[in-house]
Amino acid sequence: MPKNTHIKNNLSDEDIKRLHRKMLLIRRCEEHLGEATKSGAFPGAVHLYIGQEAIAVPLCDQLDNTDWISSTHRGHGHFLAKGGNVRQMMAEIYGKSTGICGGKGGSMHVADFKKGIIGANGVVAGGMGLAVGAALAAKMDKKGAVSVIFFGDGAANQGVLMEALNISSLWNLPMIFVCENNQYSEFTHTSEVTSGKISDRARPFNIPVYDIDGNNVIDMWQAASDAVRRGRNDQGPTFIEAHTYRQRGHVEFEYTFLSRSYRDQSEVDLWKRDDKDPLLRFETYLLEQSIFIKKDLKKIHKEVQDEVNKAVNFALDSPEPDPKTAMLHMIEG
């Protein structure tokens, strides 16, 4: 990125440091979970956000607890970006009673209504209607809140997207559509199942479109800033297609059941390079701008790793849910 790009986009050095730390926290959490799942440390599957951190963090940094987000099965990053508690998230994934959902939801259902996190969702495009409902509620409340739906390129082929675009435009809802186009719908390249540009699907509904490099923190910040401003000022919905890359598999244990790889390792390695990986790319910018020196980065990496380690230990030390509470919040009375 050119010199002082962040300043030109109304981002201070402190803003940049905050975004970097949150991206790093997500990366270290996901790396731990990727390793832990191999040993069967917790029940269920995990779908990791590694390589996509530059999308959720710059957007959620501009939201507060009165704004809503709805997530996907790859939702840990969204949860942490919106201010979710890392210890409670880790305990939830480990299936412990101290988890944010009491250990009953697991990886694909982390939620915290107090933070405006409607929740992750194991159903592809399952959060779309929930987010639109939240946007309608926000419009009726007239307090300037917005609603965000994160979804992938695979979910873009679900009919509910068109329904959501239509009603959001018709009712001028404070809705932000964020398509995280990571190039793969599970095990299939997007080009094999998707016709045309995903962002073009919003244009017939007269919804403003941003088609951006989702691995560029500053570009994502600016698109998100415009979208949030429009929503808060009752100017209707915005559609952002953020192009990125899923560095890990669709699900971490896919190697145990796939007979062959669906992508070349050389492709994955390309996207892990310093000029592609969003975290490494951002850190290069921080060093070039003298916002950090290498010693600073080393210190922050240690602090964040310590935070993750404490979250893991909290989860490990927490009790299992009491079986007697299994049906709480599910059946009236």
Is domain 5-313 classified as CATH 3.20.20.70? no
The residue to which tokens 């694909």 are assigned: 108
Average pLDDT over residues 28-54: 95
Look at residue 3 and tell me whether its pLDDT is greater than 80.
no
Residues in CB range of 187: below 8 A, 6 or more apart: 250, 254, 258, 262
State the pLDDT confidence band at 142, using cuts at 50, 70 and 90.
Answer: very high
pLDDT at 21 over 80: yes
With a CB cutoff of 8 Å and minimum separation 6, the contacts of 180 are 52, 55, 72, 150, 151, 152, 153, 214, 242, 244
- Give Cβ neighbours of residue 56 (< 8 Å, ≥ 6 apart): 26, 49, 77, 78, 81, 82, 150
The average pLDDT across 189-212 equals 96
Contact of 171 with 139, CB cutoff 8 Å: yes
Q: Are 23 and 277 in contact (CB under 8 A)?
A: no
Secondary structure (H, E, C), the chain: CCCCHHHHCCCCHHHHHHHHHHHHHHHHHHHHHHHHHHHCCCCCCCCCCCCCHHHHHHHHCCCCCCCEEECCCCCHHHHHHCCCCHHHHHHHHCCCCCCCCCCCCCHHHCCEHHHCEEECCCCCCCCHHHHHHHHHHHHHHCCCCCEEEEEECCHHHCHHHHHHHHHHHHCCCCEEEEEEECCEECCEEHHHCCCCCHHHHHHHHCCCEEEEECCCHHHHHHHHHHHHHHHHCCCCCEEEEEECCCCCCCCCCHHHCCCCCCCCHHHHHHHCCCCCCHHHHHHHHHHHCCCCCHHHHHHHHHHHHHHHHHHHHHHHHCCCCCHHHCCCCCCCC
Q: Quick one: pLDDT at residue 9?
A: 72
Q: pLDDT tens across 42-64, in order?
A: 988 899 999 999 999 999 999 99
pTM for this entry: 0.95
Question: What CA–CA distances, in Å, run from 228 to 69, 145, 202, 301, 321?
Answer: 12, 9, 17, 30, 39
- What are the structural domain ranges in the chain? 5-313
pLDDT band with cut points at 50, 70 and 90 for residue 30: very high
- By CB atoms closer than 10 A (0-12, 13-18, 19+), residue 97 is middle
Average pLDDT, the chain: 94
User: Residue 333's pLDDT band (boundaries 50, 70, 90)?
Assistant: very low
Distance CA(217)–CA(221), nearest Å, equals 6
Please report, to the nearest 10 degrees, the dihedral formed by the alpha carbons of residues 151, 153, 155, 156 taken in order: 100
pLDDT band for position 329 (cuts 50, 70, 90): low
